[in-house]
Amino acid sequence: MLKGIFGSNSLTHLIRGGLEETSASHRVIASRVAGALNSSSSVDFADTLNQKTAASKQQVEADLQRDMTELADTTIRYEADSKLLQQAYARLRTAISDHA
């Protein structure tokens, strides 16, 4: 009976797995964004500007925009999964308290 509620095929287990996956994706994307932001901040702007071509700068900006979009997406998915997990646990608490 408890395996049905908390086991590997239960809704709460699946949602927790989704939260862990989303959290891992979020960390990877945030790391890429932080790396892009750190590499773009230079003390000598003129030197950096001379070193980079317009094409590579556009690619970096496109990658950063894509990463920021993915970061927003994973944030929304994480929040949705956490609310679903909260609701599932609330239903379990209600079921337990109603039968106690």
For the stretch 61-90, pLDDT in tens is 788 889 999 999 999 999 999 999 999 999
Location of structure tokens 């001379």: 50
For the record, the structure tokens of 52 come out as 């980079």
Burial class (CB in 10 A: 0-12, 13-18, 19+), 88: middle
For the record, the structure tokens of 18 come out as 């989704």
How far is Cα 10 from Cα 91, in angstroms, rounded to an integer?
A: 14
Q: How do the pLDDT tens digits run along the chain, 100 residues long?
A: 566 666 788 888 889 999 999 999 999 998 888 887 776 655 565 665 566 666 677 777 788 889 999 999 999 999 999 999 999 999 989 988 887 6
| pTM, entire model | 0.65
How far CA 72 is from CA of 41, 42, 58, 75, 100, in Å, comes to 22, 26, 21, 5, 42
Look at residue 44 in the predicted model and tell me its pLDDT.
Answer: 61
CA neighbours within 13 Å on the CB side: how many for 53?
A: 3
